[in-house]
Amino acid sequence: MRYILLTIMKTSTAIVALPLSVQRALAKLGADISAARRRRRLTSELMAERALVSRNTITRVEKGDPRVSMGVYATVLFVLGMSDRLRDVADAASDAIGLSLEDEQLPKRVRLKRSRPHHGT
């Protein structure tokens, strides 16, 4: 008898409900990584070796698979010499919405608290 072993991957609800804009961004990231690898004349096997992952994982990265960890994406970018871009992904200075919300919480005016004179003996 032959037995077939199926591995059922547990899929996170967050992956299933991934917004279309995020899916597109990941697909673009994957395509950009693939193009960068090919511009450097690296095979997917060599990329996998340098990133300490399997060739299948590199294929998934280049497809923008959201189940691949951020650490793997970061390592692949490091191998390509592009990891410095990660520093600014969520930079507070570029967070227009956060800065706007923070500005809304600013007081209308600022008053100095006056210290009361001490009446003493």
The CATH number for 57's domain is 1.10.260.40
Decide if 117 is inside a domain.
no
Decide if 73 is inside a domain.
yes
Decide if 10 is inside a domain.
no
Decide if 100 is inside a domain.
no
Rounded to an integer, what distance in angstroms lies between the CA atom of residue 77 and that of residue 32?
10
Decide if 109 is inside a domain.
no
In 3-state terms, the chain is what percent helix, strand and coil (to 5)? 55, 0, 45
pTM, two decimals, is 0.73
List the chain pLDDT tens, one digit each, 121 residues. Answer: 455 544 455 567 767 789 999 999 999 999 999 999 999 999 999 999 999 999 999 999 999 999 999 999 999 999 999 999 899 888 888 888 888 888 888 788 888 888 777 766 5
Q: What are phi and psi of 78, to 5 degrees?
A: -60, -45
Decide if 105 is inside a domain.
no
Indicate if the alpha-carbon torsion angle 59, 68, 39, 22 is positive or negative.
positive
Decide if 44 is inside a domain.
yes
Decide if 30 is inside a domain.
yes
How many domains does the structure of the chain reveal?
A: 1
Domain containing residue 49: 19-88
